[in-house]
Structure 1
């Protein structure tokens, strides 16, 4: 877990299932969102990716 000033980033892993869940909560829009997703896909050598973006008020 990484706690940032106004955000946090967690990675939960289940190695026995070859599965990882990544949560990124930020207060401002990411400027390079697609680069971040591509970086994670590469680091985990992901064969599949499910992506969900939730806006909060």
Structure 2
């Protein structure tokens, strides 16, 4: 079954509030995540809310990486979407979760753009949960 793209929707919990409140640091994390997962960066924009929280996006040739953070809750809503077969979006997700120091993640992998016989498109969702930090270690 062929797909046009893979979309990872991630609920990250138990994250480091200092990381989640630092727009510049998140930008660096996302740029490195794009690099290690073989994505071509086109643009980025990050906004720091007052008193805390960050929303940001890195536009890549393959699609995007985006986030909205709630440092006071240790929570980040993360999306990684890529089209084609060049990029490895799961590597980007893993790297970002590691850098956010997430303790838990609920991940949905959505295979998007699955063509039906009648020239319409659908998607397929696979969901799992991960406990990421045991005994203070990844």
Structure in which a larger fraction of residues adopt strand: 2
Tell me the C-alpha RMSD between the 2 structures.
1.8
TM-score of the superposition, structure 1-length normalised? 0.77
Q: What CA distance in whole angstroms lies between the structure 2 residues aligned with 1:39 and 1:13?
A: 16
Higher relative contact order (CA 8 A, sep 6+): 2
Give the unaligned 5+ runs of structure 1: none
Q: Which runs of at least 4 in structure 1 moved beyond 6 Å after TM superposition?
A: none
Give the unaligned 5+ runs of structure 2: 1-56, 114-138
TM-score of the superposition, structure 2-length normalised? 0.36
Q: Which protein shows a greater Rg?
A: 2
Report how many aligned residue pairs link the two structures.
Answer: 56
What's the CA shift for 1:11?
1.3
